[in-house]
Amino acid sequence: MDRLQRFRVLIMIVLTAVVGAVIFVVLRPAPAAPIITVTLRPTTPATPTPSTIRVYVSGAVKNPDVYTLPVGSIVRDAMNVAGGPAGDADLDRINLAAPLGDGVQVHFPRKGEPAAAAGGSTPGATAGAPIDINTATLEQLETLPGIGPAIAQRIVDYRQANGPFTSIEQIKDVSGIGDALFERLKDRITVEP
């Protein structure tokens, strides 16, 4: 074999090896995807929402006292758990459908009894009683002028994310409550110490 033929054979061998390597790389099976193990851990639950509230029921009811009621209770529920209205109760002066919050007092007036000073009774139970925006339920917040379910939920969410309000003006930090709405609310809300 002369030199030229040997060179051609060598080139053919090299080309065959290169083509074989390319075919091997292209046609070989892809490696299996790595197995990913996910361990689920229980998340720390948010502060649980209380399922009961305590309400002080006073005035013209048969058994005035502090009662434990389910969350979502209304003034009528407080009246019923206290044995019902006394014979001289003036039920036209109290909103029986007003929602209750934890730690509030519901005073049932007697016929002829002078009107209580604003703020001395249940938030939402009587017209004009300010609502504590740090403890108010969604239902109580929705009784405020200009506050619907969406803004009431934003107030509760803001309170949970940032802690209690330190002043009534701070409610303007809640999305959807500007100066105009605050002017309508300022005499109807409070922040208890």
Closest CA to 85 of 101, 115, 107: 107
Structure confidence at residue 125 (pLDDT): 43
CATH of region 130-193: 1.10.150.320
pLDDT in tens, 128-173: 468 889 888 888 888 888 888 889 999 999 999 998 999 999 999 9
Structure confidence at residue 97 (pLDDT): 86
Provide the edge-to-edge strand list for the sheet that holds 52-59.
Answer: 65-70, 52-59, 104-108
Structure confidence at residue 119 (pLDDT): 40
Residues 97/75, Cβ–Cβ less than 8 Å: yes
Domain segments of the chain as ranges: 49-129, 130-193
Residue 171 token pair: 């409610």
Confidence of residue 48 (pLDDT cuts 50, 70, 90): low
Structure confidence at residue 44 (pLDDT): 58
Residue 99 token pair: 């929602």
The stretch 172-178 carries a mean pLDDT of: 92
Q: DSSP label at 103?
A: T
Structure confidence at residue 33 (pLDDT): 67
The structure tokens 């409610």 sit at 171
By residue count, the chain amounts to: 193
Structure confidence at residue 118 (pLDDT): 38
User: For the chain, how long is the longest CA-to-CA vector?
Assistant: 133
CATH of region 49-129: 3.10.20.600
Structure confidence at residue 17 (pLDDT): 87
Q: Please tell me if the domain spanning 49-129 has the same topology as the one spanning 130-193.
A: no
Separation of alpha carbons 186 and 141, rounded Å: 13
- Residues paired with residue 67 on neighbouring β-strands, in sequence order: 55
pLDDT in tens, 70-118: 988 999 999 999 999 999 998 888 888 888 888 788 888 888 877 554 3
Query: Has residue 120 got a pLDDT over 50?
Result: no
Separation of alpha carbons 115 and 92, rounded Å: 12
Check residues 126 and 114 and name the one with the higher pLDDT. 114
Separation of alpha carbons 187 and 169, rounded Å: 11
**Beta strands at 104-108 and 52-59: parallel, antiparallel or unpaired:** parallel
CA 184: distance to chain centroid?
A: 24
The region that residue 59 occupies, defined by phi over 0 for left and psi between -120 and 50 for alpha, beta otherwise, is left
